């Protein structure tokens, strides 16, 4: 503990990343404070992962119980299924309150000082905190910036929070529009289309790029599109963007061709969810006071140790984690980065292995992936001089999936043909978000399909879809 400073470590932003960093810092013996201007828990707990999963859990049950064909195949018959929108919304809100409370209490219990107010850099190893009662400056040997991100709203779209809204308002489920347009078909758009379609809304999905689900592996995206979009009577516009969105009753959406910018159509819908990604919340952090410039996309530049860079050089005692550095905009990546930053503060050099960090969309069925897409792997192969192999296995051939009557899905393994090293794994199917971790561990340990194909999986389990894919890889 240094006596020159008020704290060993001050963290600006108490989201999942800041929270993870604070817990690890305490375990390393650092006197720690965390500064938060808004809700403890940040985006994930309040406006992201947590409430959206609660909505997906409830709406998923409704979908399941209304799927008479599926239930009949299991020998089950039900009468009509009713739901209460407000009670579903309350389920999400109550979960947020609980997890927010748990997170705050865990910090207090460990002796982390929670400072409420707007924190910003006020010079080397100094942070100013602005509260309703004024401003104070605190000093710290090290500072971690963890300000998070906010939804991106493209130009021409006017958000009123009621009829035109982002995921921030969407997770509150304050209404259930008859017809909702969703702008964007990434994981946020997909998850909300899952919720709304299960609860009976009609959906129009608008994607500016020339294919739906642009970030996903193409084989997985094609299958997922067939099940999650085409199979649900969701209207889609591809290569089309929302040039202008005007809130009201109805919401008026002017559509144009993304490439030519020519007007295409005008939609009138009950509501519009803007799911066009997120941007870093990096304004007003006082970075200019120490000569740090944001990059062209407004991310805070960092190296692999999470140290902040200025003109390519490390800024001593300043670190940035989570969505604000743009490395990987996922809550669990932020948490991992927080721990890595603290490790480096303590003089133990560590870096994040992004290749082995998995991601998931909690649709019904789920999508998950870790490592590279086939396209990215082939690019790497052409640069480094190796061939890429792929192997696929299907849930239709999995006994457990058949027993559940949930046989839609596929696992795809991407690997180096010369060494067998696994480069990426993509799964679409029931419980994909849980299954992916076996693949994540394999990539973290740079394992080969030759080793993995001989691991023994319990039978009958869903995990055998990966077993089957590994076995197919060595047979090909």
Active site residue 459: yes
**DSSP string computed for 160-182:** -SSSEEEHHHHTT-----SEEEE
Q: Where are the beta strands (DSSP E) in 292-450?
A: 307-310, 313-320, 359-361, 366-371, 388-394, 410-416, 422-429
Number of Cα atoms under 13 Å in the Cβ half of residue 243? 16
* Other beta carbons less than 10 A from residue 85's beta carbon: 14
Distance CA 126, CA 120 (A): 9
List, in sequence order, the alpha helices (H) in 218-330. Answer: 218-228
Burial of 421 (0-12, 13-18, 19+ CB in 10 A): middle
How far is residue 156 from each of residues 206, 350, 396, measured CA to CA in Å?
15, 43, 45
User: Contact, 330 vs 366, CB < 8 A?
Assistant: no
Closest CA to 81 of 69, 96, 91, 66: 66
* Other beta carbons less than 10 A from residue 68's beta carbon: 12
How far is residue 100 from each of residues 3, 47, 171, 455, measured CA to CA in Å?
32, 11, 15, 40
Distance CA 16, CA 332 (A): 7
**Three-state secondary-structure class, residue 301:** coil
Distance CA 447, CA 239 (A): 39
Whether the link from the prior residue into 7 is cis, omega within 30° of 0, is no
Q: Are strands 366-371 and 359-361 parallel, antiparallel or unpaired?
A: antiparallel
Choice among 3, 24, 431, 459 that is catalytic: 459
Query: In sequence order, what are the residues at sequence separation of 6 or more whose Cβ sits closer than 8 angstroms to the Cβ of residue 383?
Result: none
Q: To which residue do tokens 């240094």 refer?
A: 2
Q: Which residues are catalytic?
A: 459
């Amino acid at each position: 503990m240094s006596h020159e400073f008020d704290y060993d470590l001050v963290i600006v932003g108490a989201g999942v990343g800041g929270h993870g960093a604070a817990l690890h810092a305490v375990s390393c013996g650092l006197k720690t404070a965390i500064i938060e201007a808004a809700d403890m828990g940040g985006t994930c707990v309040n406006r992201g992962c947590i409430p959206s999963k609660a909505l997906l859990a409830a709406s998923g049950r409704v979908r399941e119980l209304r799927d008479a064909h599926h239930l009949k195949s299991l020998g089950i018959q039900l009468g009509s299924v009713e739901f209460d929108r407000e009670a579903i919304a309350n389920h999400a809100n109550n979960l947020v309150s609980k997890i927010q409370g748990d997170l705050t209490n865990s910090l207090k219990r460990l002796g982390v000082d929670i400072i409420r107010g707007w924190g910003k850099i006020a010079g080397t190893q100094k942070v100013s905190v602005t509260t309703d009662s004024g401003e104070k400056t605190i000093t710290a040997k090290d500072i971690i910036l963890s300000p998070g991100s906010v939804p991106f709203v493209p130009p021409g779209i006017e958000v009123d929070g009621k009829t035109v809204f982002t995921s921030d308002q969407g997770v509150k489920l304050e209404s259930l529009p008859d017809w909702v347009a969703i702008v964007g078909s990434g994981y946020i758009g997909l998850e909300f289309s899952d919720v709304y379609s299960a609860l009976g809304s009609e959906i129009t999905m608008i994607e500016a790029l020339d294919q739906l689900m642009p970030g996903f592996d193409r084989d997985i995206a094609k299958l997922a599109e067939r099940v999650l979009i085409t199979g649900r009577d969701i209207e889609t516009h591809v290569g089309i963007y929302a040039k202008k969105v005007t809130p009201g009753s109805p919401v008026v959406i002017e559509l144009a061709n993304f490439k030519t910018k020519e007007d295409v159509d005008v939609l009138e819908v009950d509501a519009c969810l803007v799911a066009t990604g997120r941007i870093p919340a990096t304004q007003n952090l006082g970075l200019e006071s120490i000569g740090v410039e944001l990059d062209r996309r407004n991310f805070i530049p960092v190296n692999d140790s999470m140290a902040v860079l200025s003109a390519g050089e490390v800024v001593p005692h300043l670190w940035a984690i989570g969505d604000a550095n743009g490395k990987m905009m996922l809550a669990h990546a932020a948490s991992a980065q927080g721990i890595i930053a603290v490790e480096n503060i303590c003089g133990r050099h560590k870096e994040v292995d992004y290749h082995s960090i998995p991601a998931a969309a909690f649709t019904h069925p789920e999508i998950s992936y870790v490592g590279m897409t086939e396209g990215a792997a082939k690019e790497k192969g052409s640069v480094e001089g190796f061939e890429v192999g792929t192997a696929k296995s299907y849930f239709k051939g999995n006994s457990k999936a058949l027993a559940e009557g949930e046989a839609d899905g596929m696992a795809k393994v991407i690997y180096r043909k010369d060494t067998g090293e696994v480069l990426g794994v993509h799964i679409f199917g029931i419980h994909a978000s849980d299954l992916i971790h076996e693949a994540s561990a394999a990539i973290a340990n740079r394992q080969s399909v030759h080793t993995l194909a001989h691991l023994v999986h319990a039978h009958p389990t869903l995990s055998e879809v990966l077993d089957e894919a590994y076995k197919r890889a060595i047979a090909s």
